[in-house]
């Protein structure tokens, strides 16, 4: 099974470097990285080029012009740039541990998508991680316990590893709430079936919820990857939420509708 790890970024090269360092240490074979760049400046392109030279796997850089927050559009463009069997979505401020891709591979199952969780770092600790280039992707339990004691992370629960709880993973197969593209994986053929993400959502918020709702409507169930495949989320200022009310209204319409395909999706790039 060929996997593509799609990493969304925008003008935060320091955080992206931390994420790509985590990618370099992945234990999984046969995967590629696609940086889905929502209009960053040349600094990000130069950074990606350095990692393309270092990585033993392919790193693709998919860029679109900066025209505001268009995460759905750049993810669709990234989806078209790969023919991998399985897609793992994350963000350019979410550092993966070494077994992140392997864990998604292990849990992947036809007829299901995977929704994982994240460990939130405080602002001060995130700044320290980036300034000192701390290799948190290689940290062990003792390191994280010390970080919790110092108040550098909000909670330890996302770090728990419970690989054997199969009954728990399928306990809420129709739940869409809480599934986010910072840690979500889907078979590419299922994404094609629902036409990817809906680019009608512009500005921050809810384009990932829209995707999950349509996947569920298409018969693809939600399998939990919690307590097995976390990411370490670096703090960032709250995104501009001026479009959130409109996006909420759009999502309410989707909840009351019956369609499975995005009105404005990845088919425009195929």
pLDDT for 6 = 98
pLDDT for the residue numbered 166: 74
Q: Report the 10 Å Cβ neighbour count for 157.
A: 11
pLDDT at 220: 98
pTM of the model: 0.95
What digits encode the pLDDT tens for the residues 53-65?
A: 999 999 999 999 9
**pLDDT score, position 162:** 76
Low-confidence ranges of the chain (pLDDT < 50): none
Return the pLDDT at 240.
Answer: 65
Given this model, what pLDDT does residue 120 score? 95
Kindly list the distances between the CA atom of residue 74 and the CA atoms of 36, 110, 229, in Å, as whole numbers in the listed order: 6, 25, 24
pLDDT tens-digit profile of 18-60?
A: 999 999 999 999 899 999 999 999 999 999 999 999 999 999 9
Which of 150, 98, 79 shows the shortest CA–CA distance to 121?
150
Half-sphere exposure at residue 229, Cβ-oriented, CA atoms within 13 angstroms: 25
Helix (H) or strand (E) holding 17: helix 13-24
Could you read off the pLDDT of 212-222 as tens digits, one per residue?
A: 999 999 999 99
Domain architecture of the chain: domains with CATH: 3-269 (3.90.550.10)
Residue 167 pLDDT? 75
């Amino acid at each position: 099974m060929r996997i593509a790890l799609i990493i969304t970024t925008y003008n935060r090269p320091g955080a992206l470097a931390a994420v790509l360092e985590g990618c370099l240490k992945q234990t999984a074979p046969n995967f590629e990285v696609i940086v889905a760049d929502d209009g960053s400046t040349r600094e990000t392109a130069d950074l990606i080029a350095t990692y393309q030279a270092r990585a033993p796997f392919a790193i693709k850089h998919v860029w679109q012009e900066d025209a505001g927050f268009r995460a759905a559009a750049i993810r669709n463009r990234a989806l078209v740039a790969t023919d991998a069997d399985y897609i793992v979505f994350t963000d350019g401020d979410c550092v993966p541990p070494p077994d992140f891709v392997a864990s998604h591979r292990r849990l992947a199952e036809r007829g299901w998508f995977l929704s994982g969780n994240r460990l939130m770092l405080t602002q001060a600790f995130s700044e320290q991680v980036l300034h000192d280039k701390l290799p948190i992707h290689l940290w062990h339990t003792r390191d994280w316990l010390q970080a919790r004691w110092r108040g550098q992370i909000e909670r330890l629960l996302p770090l728990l590893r419970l690989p054997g709880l199969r009954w728990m993973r399928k306990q809420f197969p129709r739940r869409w709430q809480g599934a986010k593209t910072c840690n979500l994986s889907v078979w590419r053929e299922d994404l094609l079936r629902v036409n990817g993400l809906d680019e009608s959502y512009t500005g921050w918020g809810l384009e990932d919820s829209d995707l999950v709702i349509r996947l569920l409507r298409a018969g693809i169930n939600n399998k939990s990857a919690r307590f097995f495949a976390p990411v370490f989320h670096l703090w960032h200022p709250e995104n501009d939420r001026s479009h959130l009310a409109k996006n909420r209204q759009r999502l309410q319409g989707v909840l009351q509708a019956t369609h499975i395909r995005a009105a404005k999706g990845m088919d425009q790039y195929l």
